[in-house]
Amino acid sequence: MIIFVKIKIVEENKKMLSEKKNLDEMDDHEKEQTTTYGSRYFTKSIPKYIVPDEGMPPRAAYQLIHDELNLDGNPALNLASFVTTWMEPEADLLMVESMGKNYVDNDEYPQTEVIQDRVVNMLARLFNAPEDCKSVGSATIGSSEAIMLGLLAHKWTWRSRMEAEGKPTDKPNIVMGADVHTVWEKFARYFDVELKLIPLREDIYTITAEDVVKEIDENTIAVGAVIGTTFTGQMDPIEDINNALLEVKKTKGWDIPIHVDGASGGFIAPFIYPDLPWDFRLEQVRSINVSGHKYGLVYPGVGWLVFKDKSDLPDDLIFNINYLGGLMPNYSLNFSKGSNTIIAQYYNFIRLGMKGYTKIMENMLENARFLGKKLEETGKFEILNDKILFPLIAVKLKNCDFDAFHLSEHLREKGWIVPAYTLPPNADDITVLRMVIKESFSKDMVEMLFKDIMASIKTLNQSLNERRKAIDEKGNPTLLY
Ligand SMILES: Cc1ncc(COP(=O)(O)O)c(C=O)c1O
């Protein structure tokens, strides 16, 4: 976000002009006698609003920015994000080596495209695409781009079908639960599709097949189903929804596809629950997105979109561009993007194999369940995703006079990033804390987090009691929480 603060720019300009005199390089002798921190750049303010006339030595620029970034949270203590914060040094090396390659320059970097196609192939098989299907897919910046592209293809297919049947095409809709990530609502707004959002209930934080059947009609371009919801890490009943849609197809002739949002669960289920049918084994599941940068174990930004069959991606959505060399088919929202996360995904596949991924997923799940059990035993927490199918825990506080936001804030003071939020409508009076357990979060870390959670609860209770005792001048108790 760019904020133009005019006054600040003027002030900064003045300051820079007065400092300019002193910005000569240090001579060699001076450099030998001190460290980067001893240079003049550490007693001047860093340019913030206008590009400076003069630069600075690389070491000083590095150190200034590096130190400023210390104000960010520590990724290793970040239980808020699903996104990968650690990779092996060999993956880091490959990523640095390929950092300058623009993925879209397929003609210049043909091998990178070959690698992308291999990953798509591997994913299609991981998601059990039938042998007689020709699956197609693409790397994206993340699941958000993948979801938008997947749904766009379904909108196109729906429109062609309606046109062929001589029916109106001005009222497309999409059916999904309020447990979806915000990007689904974004798709509906950006791509002009009516959003039919099924509200949650007080005690069920996913949708049911019956809910879906009530909402669909001839204008439904697709049904959205999630494996590993953002809010509680649960799963919509995808098999039931598939069966219900098959029945509708038989009785009413509406062929409504399911797009599965496997942003996080799509990289867990194949390894931990290989017999769970949620993917292309189900007839109506026509497209799946997954975030490589979540449980695909790659740094941010990579997602994947896979269509069950080539016929699920209308040809007129594919742009053939020729100005970068050869003829390149392109289905993406963004044009340029880095190659290195795609390469890192391939590294993980060949380095870990099925066994390696499974071991990591099992560890994460074991540590998540261990944390869940410990929290539950205190009597202060109710686990909302009680089976803990995926390595995250969503808990509601019980028997406490403070709320999840207070606890979250308190943990932040200790460095832990544990978000508190309310669930979507109609379960929005429930406030939860969510802890995503990642590969690099050991049992030892779980124990330290648990200790700090309990210490925070104790401190919050103590301060609450003190405040309760406090009486204002009029004799009323002054409650803070
Ligand atoms: C279920 C779900 N879908 C989609 C997304 C968006 O994914 P991305 O951040 O890869 O764009 C998320 C992100 O957390 C998610 O949890």
Alpha-carbon distance of 35 to 107, in angstroms, equals 46
pLDDT tens figures, 192-201: 999 999 999 8
**Residue scoring higher pLDDT (362 or 324):** 362
Mean pLDDT computed over 112-132: 95
pLDDT of residue 17: 54
pLDDT at 371 over 50: yes
pLDDT confidence tier of residue 79, bands split at 50, 70 and 90: very high
pLDDT confidence tier of residue 322, bands split at 50, 70 and 90: low
pLDDT at 18 over 70: no
Mean pLDDT computed over 151-165: 98
Q: Kindly state if the Cβ of 116 falls inside 6 Å of ligand 1.
A: no
Dihedral of alpha carbons 219, 222, 226, 229, sign: negative
Query: Which residue from 179, 181, 182, 385 has its CB within 8 A of the most atoms of ligand 1, so it is best to mutate?
Result: 181
State residue 120 phi and psi, 5-degree precision: -60, -45
Cα 263 to middle of ligand 1, angstroms: 5
Percent of the chain at pLDDT > 90 equals: 81
pLDDT tens figures, 462-474: 988 887 777 665 6
- CATH topology match: 6-71 vs 92-348: no
Mean pLDDT computed over 402-427: 94
Alpha-carbon distance of 473 to 340, in angstroms, equals 64
The type of residue at 348 is N
- Lowest mean pLDDT of 113-127, 321-335, 412-426, name the range: 321-335
Top CATH class, 92-348: alpha beta
pLDDT of residue 369: 97
pLDDT tens figures, 22-69: 444 566 766 778 899 999 999 999 999 999 999 999 999 999 999 999
pLDDT of residue 23: 42
pLDDT confidence tier of residue 3, bands split at 50, 70 and 90: low
What is the total residue count of the chain? Answer: 481
pLDDT at 239 over 60: yes
Alpha-carbon distance of 183 to 189, in angstroms, equals 10
Q: Kindly state if the Cβ of 296 falls inside 6 Å of ligand 1.
A: no
pLDDT confidence tier of residue 203, bands split at 50, 70 and 90: confident
pLDDT of residue 435: 97
The rounded mean pLDDT for the chain is 91
Is 381 within 8 Å of 396 (Cβ atoms)? yes
Query: Which residue from 144, 182, 207, 337 has its CB within 8 A of the most atoms of ligand 1, so it is best to mutate?
Result: 144
pLDDT at 20 over 70: no
pLDDT at 125 over 90: yes
pLDDT at 480 over 70: no
pLDDT confidence tier of residue 120, bands split at 50, 70 and 90: very high
Is 229 within 8 Å of 235 (Cβ atoms)? yes
Could you state, in order of their start, the residue ranges of all structural domains in the chain? 6-71, 92-348, 364-469
Q: Which run of H or of E encompasses 305? A: strand 303-307
Residue having the nearest C-alpha atom to atom 7 of ligand 1:
143
pLDDT at 324 over 60: no
The domain made up of 364-469 has a fold known as Aspartate Aminotransferase, domain 1 (3.90.1150)
Q: Does domain 6-71 have CATH number 3.90.70?
A: no
Three-state secondary structure of 314-381? CHHHCEEECCCCCCEEECCCCCCCECHHHHHHHHHHHHHHHHHHHHHHHHHHHHHHHHHHHHHHCCCE
pLDDT at 21 over 50: no
pLDDT of residue 463: 86
pLDDT tens figures, 273-315: 999 999 999 999 999 999 999 999 999 999 999 999 999 999 9
Cα 297 to middle of ligand 1, angstroms: 14
